[in-house]
Structures are given as structure tokens and as C-alpha cells.
Amino acid sequence: MDDMNISYSKRKKSSSFMFHLRQILKWVFILGFIVCPIVNYYVGGPAWSVIVLASIIFLWTTLLSPSVLEITSIGLVFRTGSFAIILTTLIGLLISPGWLGFVLPIIGFGILALSGILFFSNLYKHRNNIMPLIWEILIALVAFLVLFFKFDKLNWPTITMGSLAAIMAITGLIAFHKEIWRELRKRFHTK
């Protein structure tokens, strides 16, 4: 009766290496997540386990449960950069304070510069993927303004970060205002 010729091609046996690696990593991370705070609590000293936990969360969401949507080069820079800022802040606050105000703006303008280069390197592709860049510029501008009003004198990395963010914002508003408006309407829709 089956003259439809239902048939399926034989599939090559796929390697289960990645599956097993993911399983092992999963348990290592879970173990680390439980054990590190306990060890840190009993051994005492600076709260290094917070840094370990933050790293585990980042690695988990990057390696074991990566986003199934929208992994773009600019998005990756934004994500990795955000993690670098969080980790640096934690190290600066918990282990060796005193240098955060200098290093964080350097990371900030590094992220902005890299994202800007990526954006202009493929305008056709990234014109419709402008949101991570908008977030980066906004965060950098807000950070700059907070520091500007809080401190009398700003260091050069902060000034560079603020200027770069301002230049990118102005350029963006002039050259890509239509794209930005369209992107904001889509991203913030409630329908």
C-alpha cells in the first residue's frame, strides 16, 4: 500500500564527545557552586568565592546553556565586556581595592571601540542589529555623567570613554536615526 516511498537516509553516527563533555562540566560547575562558598566560609579571608560563583554563572550561560537566539558579534562583545566589568568590579571590591576607577573606564572604551569597529565593518548586516551598541553607548554615557558630577577631576580613561560614547551617540543620531527609531519601536513593543 505504501507507494509513497517513505524512506530516510542512513545517518552517520555522530560523536557523543560534546554531550559527555557538557555533562561533566555541568557537574563540575554544580560542585564548584556548592563547595566554594562553604570552603570560603570556613577558611575565612576575602570573599573570593563570590568571584568564582560569578565566573561559574558566566561559563554556564556561555558554554552549557547558551542563548538560542541572537548571538551576534556585537552582542558577544557586549556580553563578554559586561562580564569583564562585573568580574573586575568584584575583584576590585573584594580582593585588591584602589584601581577600579582607572581600569573600568579602559574596559568601557575598549568595548565601545571594538563594537564600533564591528558595526562599521559590516553595515548591511549590523544596521538591523543596532541595539547592543545603543545599550553600550547609553551605559557609557550614564557612567560618565555620574562620575562627572561626583568627582571634581576625571582621569583620562573616563574622559576617553565619555568622549567616545558621545561621538558615537552623535554620529549614530545623525547617520542612523531612522534605524535607531525603528529598532527602538521593535525592541520595546508590548503587542
Partner 1 sequence: MKKIRKELASFRKTLSEDDNRLFQSYLDSYREHLEMPGGEEKLIIRDAELALMYLVKSGLSVTEASERLSSHNLGGFYAHEALSWYPLDDAAKIYPISMKFGKMPMFRLSCYLNEDVVPEILQIALDFTIKRFPSFATIVRRGFFWHYLDSIKRRFHISEDIGVPCQPIKINSVGSQSFKVLYHANRISMEFFHVLTDGSGGMVFLKSLVAEYLRIMGVPKSTGRGVLDPNSAIQHLETTNDFQRLCPHTKKSGGFSGPAAVQMGGRIARKSPCKVVQLVYDTQDVLSCAHGFGVSVTSLVLALMFHAQMNATELFNGKIQIQVPVNMRKFFPQSTTLRNFSMYCSIDLGPDEITDIRTTASLVSEQLAKKATFEEMSVMMTTARRLVRSLRFIPLAIKSPVAKIVYGFLGDSRFSNTLSNLGRIEVPDEMAPYIRGFDFVLGTCVVSRASCSMCSFGDKTVLSVSKNTKDPSFEESLMTLSEQLGLRPSVTETPLYG
> Cell for 132?
547592543
CB 85 within 8 A of CB 107: yes
CB closer to partner 1, 153 vs 185:
185
CB closer to partner 1, 66 vs 98:
66
Nearest distance, CB of residue 100 and partner 1, angstroms: 26
Q: Give burial (CB, 10 Å; 0-12/13-18/19+) of 37.
A: middle
Nearest distance, CB of residue 182 and partner 1, angstroms: 7
CB closer to partner 1, 136 vs 158:
136
Nearest distance, CB of residue 189 and partner 1, angstroms: 6
CB closer to partner 1, 5 vs 45:
5
Say how far apart CA 130 and CA 172 lie, in whole Å: 10
What is the C-alpha end-to-end distance of the chain, expressed in Å?
A: 49
Nearest distance, CB of residue 7 and partner 1, angstroms: 6
C-alpha separations of 17 from 64, 114, 124 in Å: 14, 34, 37
CB closer to partner 1, 35 vs 71:
71
CB 112 within 8 A of CB 169: no
What residues line the site for partner 1 (CB under 8 A)?
1-11, 14, 16, 19, 64-72, 124-126, 128-129, 182, 186-191
Nearest distance, CB of residue 93 and partner 1, angstroms: 24
